[in-house]
A and B are shown apart, each in its own frame.
Chain A
Amino acid sequence: MPLKKLVTEKLKNNFNESILDVSDFRNDLSITVASNKILDIAKFLKEDPELEFVMCKDVTAIDWATRKNRFTVVYHVYSFKYNFTLRLKCNITDEPPKIDTVSLVWPSANWYERETYDMYGIVFINHPDLRRMYMPEGFQYHPLRKEFPVLGIPGSLPLPEKI
């Protein structure tokens, strides 16, 4: 069975109603899953002996600005066994946005999720250390949200006093 079909079939057999969309654009397999099932799906992808997606290469998010479910969290996971990268997407329905952490499955997701929290304000539930990654502690905003101005909000970041 071709690899992409194997991955898709296995996920569909185990999480039928949670697999919302499968696309194979430009040879990138991308699977949209329900956000409340992400932890189970992550565990399955990692631990299934036929798949072994043992590495999480990236976690990031998309701000769709005007859509109803505004945020999509995107995961890239990798299987050394097949030299294959799978993209997972979760449309977040909660407001304020939140989703289960996958850092308990893939420890590398710890900092990726911190970055995503810093930039988009998406809360990762049960994350062991959800602090900001880039911006100073105490910063009020999330810079990669679409409503955030490119030059920032005057006075929101402290500077030392002028001499």
Chain B
Amino acid sequence: MGLEAKLQQDGFITTTIDAIIAWARKSSVWPMPMGISCCAIEMIAAADPKYDLARFGSEVMRFTPRQCDLMIVAGTVTYKMAQVVRRIYDQMPEPKWVIAMGACTSSGGMYRSYSVVQGIDQFLPVDVYTAGCPPRPENLINAVMTIQQKISKTKARDFQDKPFAETVITNN
């Protein structure tokens, strides 16, 4: 007894456009794997069969920002790298979300040092912070699920005035 049984007869459902768009968005979040250091290894593990991020529709890691909705910043962000991270973020089309994965990304972590940005929220709008050094794959999956909850509460018109990628790229 599954979905097929319901499909025996003609039927319909009623919903709102917002709900169905939010459902579609949250079920197919494509991450941009911004793997900068060791957290990236756990991010890879999360996508592997054992943990299987695909269960949450997020297995399509795209190595171009132009196809992504979610940036997983996984690793130590130095001041030099911050410019690059931001430039890649700017190329992602709206709507987009950010996970700060691990201690370094969230707060500088053990690198309390002149060269490391003490938290990427100084230059990116972070949606979910993930604890751990590095966080286990379950923890990253939990972060993706938290993003899904956040997306499910959005309305389609929240994003209608946001610019497309091409218009926001700046040379800096």
Contact for A149 among B79, B114, B122, CB less than 8 A: B114
Would you call A1 an interface residue if the criterion is a C-beta within 8 Å of the partner chain's C-beta atoms? Answer: no
Closest CB in chain B relative to A159 CB, distance in Å: 5
- B-facing residues in A106-163 (Cβ within 8 Å): 134-136, 143, 148-153, 157-163
Contact for B114 among A152, A158, A160, CB less than 8 A: A152
Is B79 in contact with A162, judged by CB distance below 8 angstroms?
no
Is B114 in contact with A162, judged by CB distance below 8 angstroms?
no
Is B83 in contact with A160, judged by CB distance below 8 angstroms?
yes
- A-facing residues in B116-146 (Cβ within 8 Å): 117, 122-125
Interface residues on chain B, number (Cβ under 8 Å): 15
Is A134 in contact with B125, judged by CB distance below 8 angstroms?
no
Would you call B86 an interface residue if the criterion is a C-beta within 8 Å of the partner chain's C-beta atoms? Answer: yes
Closest CB in chain B relative to A125 CB, distance in Å: 28
Contact for A151 among B112, B123, B124, CB less than 8 A: B112
A-B complex: 4 closest residue pairs judged by Cβ atoms: A152-B114, A160-B86, A157-B79, A160-B123
Would you call B80 an interface residue if the criterion is a C-beta within 8 Å of the partner chain's C-beta atoms? Answer: yes
Would you call B167 an interface residue if the criterion is a C-beta within 8 Å of the partner chain's C-beta atoms? Answer: no
Closest CB in chain B relative to A144 CB, distance in Å: 10
Contact for A150 among B112, B117, B122, CB less than 8 A: B112
- A-facing residues in B132-170 (Cβ within 8 Å): none
A148 vs B82: C-alpha distance when bound (angstroms): 22
Closest to A149 in B: B114
* Chain A residue contacts of B86, Cβ below 8 A: 160
A148 vs B113: C-alpha distance when bound (angstroms): 11
With A136-B79, A160-B82, A160-B86 as given contacts, are A143 and B115 in contact (CB-CB < 8 Å)? yes
Is B80 in contact with A136, judged by CB distance below 8 angstroms?
yes
With A151-B112, A151-B113 as given contacts, are A158 and B123 in contact (CB-CB < 8 Å)? no
* Chain A residue contacts of B9, Cβ below 8 A: none
Is A163 in contact with B113, judged by CB distance below 8 angstroms?
no
Would you call B172 an interface residue if the criterion is a C-beta within 8 Å of the partner chain's C-beta atoms? Answer: yes
A161 vs B117: C-alpha distance when bound (angstroms): 13
- B-facing residues in A44-86 (Cβ within 8 Å): none
Is B112 in contact with A134, judged by CB distance below 8 angstroms?
no
- A-facing residues in B98-117 (Cβ within 8 Å): 112-115, 117
Chosen A-B contacts, 18 in total, with CB atoms closer than 8 Å, are: A135-B80, A136-B79, A143-B115, A148-B114, A152-B113, A157-B79, A157-B114, A157-B115, A158-B83, A159-B82, A159-B122, A160-B83, A160-B123, A160-B172, A161-B123, A162-B123, A163-B123, A163-B124
* Chain B residue contacts of A149, Cβ below 8 A: 114
Closest to A162 in B: B123
With A160-B82, A160-B86, A160-B172 as given contacts, are A134 and B115 in contact (CB-CB < 8 Å)? yes
* Chain B residue contacts of A153, Cβ below 8 A: 114
* Chain A residue contacts of B82, Cβ below 8 A: 159-160
A7 vs B27: C-alpha distance when bound (angstroms): 71
A160 vs B82: C-alpha distance when bound (angstroms): 7
Contact for A159 among B79, B113, B115, B125, CB less than 8 A: B79
A134 vs B113: C-alpha distance when bound (angstroms): 14
Is A159 in contact with B123, judged by CB distance below 8 angstroms?
yes
